[in-house]
Amino acid sequence: MTKRSYGNHLGFQTKAVHSGNDVDGETGAIRRPITMANSYALPDDPSELNWSSSGGKPIYTRNGGANQNYLQDKLKALEGGEDCVVLASGVVALSGLFFALLRSGDHIVFSNITYVAVYRLLKELHPEKYGVETSLVDTSDIEKIRAAIRPNTKLIHIETPGNPTTQISNIAAISKLAHENGVLLSVDNTFASPYTQRPLELGADLVIESLTKYINGHGDAMGGAVIGARLLIEKIRSDSMVNLGGTISPFNAWLIMRGAVTLPLRMREHNSNALAIAEYLEKKDGVRFVAYPGLESHKGHEVAKKQMMNGFGGVLSFGLNADHDTHNRFVSALQIITSAVSLGHDESLIVFLGENDERQYLYPEEFHGGFFRFSVGIENASDLIQDLDQALKAVGLD
């Protein structure tokens, strides 16, 4: 059976369908099967093997298995990267990256607006446990990054759009600054997904995806990935997959592989629904503010237009002209949109982030009264707008 090859000239949808898949050599099935095995047959002389190695022919699923490898091939193609490691969650992809690339005495600059685990890891755990120096910086301002770089800076880590405020950082400009200083740039691309933004093409060295979100897209599996140059990925694979053990299960890798096939189709709907809803909300008197990179009123709109493609992602934040309890009553009045954390699922998810968030001091002024993070799903936009409309009326804000 000949192995099909898919070149880089192919379009994103073609890659989403075909890359990582092939005819199964055993059965002739045109979908690769799930291989729920912990261990693989050894070569004639196994004493030659390095038990801590990974990649290549699988020997033990913690070092790499069939379904992980297929998913890695798909993600490499979608992000335009040389190599990829898939792991058990987005957070282990992030912590595995920091663990593998930073040692005590090194310095990292990271975004003020990030997923909460990044804040905890870099503000507390890495400095306390490993003696890593860290600077939390407003990365929407390149001059602040420039001022924070030290001789021992090894990595700049940004998230754009940032969770939960949708802050935008300029990937191309920051990657230029990083490389002028011999520093690596890693970008958490979870809010955009590779359909909407490809950081490696903009000069970043490493891109992180929580596969749990848009790439799987169906809210039924967790996973994470880091994509970038082979030598960097090999280090993360060996330190964080083989030796820390952050391995994804073959079943979850298979589910995510299946979900990723429709990523471009789903993202088109997420992006257009989110823009329609942001524009609707912005016109409502009962709405205190709307933050969405697709709106001209967003501080990062011009940069977002340059570095995001096909839209601006499916997540927006907004607050009501109302007190804490009214925000909760608004959510209770919703009939289609579900109150739950996570994002990037097929269904719309909303979460109220109240005033006691310890990171409130890092958010812009308008967020201080509490706000919603709203992951707009792929339902009909008209139904979602209708749901928001009736909930605003129910709490007396329309």
Ligand X SMILES: *Cc1c(COP(=O)(O)O)cnc(C)c1O
Residues that bind ligand X (CB under 6 A): 89-91, 115, 159, 163, 188, 190-191, 210, 212-213, 222, 224, 343
Q: CB of 59: closest distance to ligand X in angstroms? A: 27
Tell me whether residue 4 is one of the annotated catalytic residues.
Answer: no
Set 198, 213, 237, 266: catalytic member: 213
Report which residue's Cβ sits closest to ligand X.
90
Which stretches of 80-170 are DSSP H helices?
90-101, 116-120, 142-148
SS3 at position 373: strand
Q: How far apart are CA 158 and CA 29, in angstroms?
A: 41
Set 32, 70, 115, 198: catalytic member: 115
Tell me whether residue 62 is one of the annotated catalytic residues.
Answer: yes
> Could you write out the three-class secondary structure of 23-62?
CCCCCCCCCCCCCCCCECCCCCCHHHCCCCCCCCCCCEHH
Q: CB of 54: closest distance to ligand X in angstroms? A: 21
For ligand X, the closer CB: 135 or 160: 160
Tell me whether residue 119 is one of the annotated catalytic residues.
Answer: no
For ligand X, the closer CB: 94 or 384: 94
Terminal Cα distance for the chain, rounded: 64
Q: CB of 335: closest distance to ligand X in angstroms? A: 26
Set 6, 40, 60, 62: catalytic member: 62
Q: CB of 212: closest distance to ligand X in angstroms? A: 3
Q: Structure tokens of 263?
A: 């990523």
For ligand X, the closer CB: 91 or 376: 91
Distance between alpha carbon 240 and the CA centroid of its chain, in Å? Answer: 18
Tell me whether residue 32 is one of the annotated catalytic residues.
Answer: no
For ligand X, the closer CB: 21 or 190: 190
For ligand X, the closer CB: 322 or 343: 343
33: left (phi over 0), alpha (psi -120 to 50) or beta: beta
Using alpha carbons, select from 269, 292, 272 the residue that is nearest to residue 282: 292
Q: How far apart are CA 394 and CA 67, in angstroms?
A: 48
Q: CB of 198: closest distance to ligand X in angstroms? A: 16
Set 22, 83, 188, 205: catalytic member: 188
The set of catalytic residues is 62, 115, 188, 213
